[in-house]
Amino acid sequence: MSEKHYSAALEIIRHRRLTAQSDREKHILELRTRVPEIEEINNMISQASVNILKVISKGENVREEMKKLEEQNTEAQEMMRGLLVKNGYPENYMDINYTCRRCSDTGFTSEGRCSCLEELAGKLAVKELNESSPLNLSTFSTFDLEYYRGVSTDTDSNCYSTMSNIYNYCRKYASSFSHDSANIFMSGETGLGKTHLSLAIAERLLSENYSVVYGSVINFIDRIESEHFGRSAGDTLSVLINAELLILDDLGSEYDKQFTTATLYNIINTRLNKRLPTIISTNLSFEEIEARYEQRIVSRIISEYDYLPFSGNDVRQLKKAASIRQKRNQG
């Protein structure tokens, strides 16, 4: 992630902290009117803190006096919680309810950046990367299996059955997704639904707040290359490597050169090592994949990915033809 994303994330976290503190002040003001005894106990607790400092500064019978004060403080806390519950409030109503208890909504711990800051900066980077992607255009409900009914090809005598199985696999994948989910390799000619089902999975997971990155391989490689050689700012490679789900669309459309091959291997291999799921779609056959890419890439796809062979006729062309016929009939 870039400093821009960290700065934006820190601003959001700072707002969370101020909101949490403001909410507590509102609760205190409310309780002063409705449960005035609470303020008396709260003053006792505050005074206990002052007394502890006095005992430490005097240096006499520190351990004994500290124990007494701690017992008084614990008793006062219990009295306060009891009063809150008795009056219909949760016992933590006067606490500051930070979103992240680890760093108290500061973004940092004694070890450095808090995990909440890293996670939020990552989500902002993912959001920026996805801004040009059609992530809201496809859902499972708009995938029509009727386009495959009664269709056969040279390699598949029952495309409807094949695509029904793939559709059901993808729905189950989205509904039960976790960091242990499988990698998927979608292969088939143009217009058979690979992009549609990939986006349907993405749409479902984004609604559950998973970090999902979707894009074409050629666009990702272009961005990474531009950033690598200083022609533009950003950290696309880091975002791709760390997203909870990465969807690489249209493998094989990118330029065939050493930088591309090395970057692809880096992404695929690193995500496998980190046990982060990846979905790859391509118009190429396995034979074409083997002819185009290095064995180290091919072997990882073959051994580590679930293979989904899409079949049928070009649905985009079928939809276009149906639309033309409809307009003619209306005319």
Residue position matching structure tokens 């680890």: 102
Listed as ranges, residues in the chain with pLDDT below 70 are: 1-2, 45-62, 65-66, 69, 129, 131-137, 233, 318-331
Bridge-partner residues for 279, per DSSP?
Answer: 184, 247
Cα–Cα distances (Å) from 24 to 48, 62, 67, in that order, read: 21, 33, 29
Bridge-partner residues for 183, per DSSP?
Answer: 305
Give the E-state strand segments of 101-145 in sequence order: 108-109, 112-113
Where exactly are the structural domains of the chain?
12-102, 132-320
Bridge-partner residues for 127, per DSSP?
Answer: none
**Residue-wise pLDDT tens digits, 2-26:** 677 788 889 999 999 999 999 988 9
CA atoms within 13 A on the CB side of 298: 12
Q: Output the pLDDT for position 237.
A: 92
Bridge-partner residues for 185, per DSSP?
Answer: 280, 307
Q: Output the pLDDT for position 61.
A: 64
Q: Output the pLDDT for position 175.
A: 96
Residue position matching structure tokens 């050689």: 229
**Residue-wise pLDDT tens digits, 235-281:** 889 989 999 999 999 999 888 888 999 999 999 999 999 999 999 99
Q: How far apart are CA 292 and CA 282, in angstroms?
A: 12
- Is the pTM higher than 0.85? The answer reads no
Q: How far apart are CA 280 and CA 194, in angstroms?
A: 9
Please give the CATH number for the structural domain made up of 132-320: 3.40.50.300
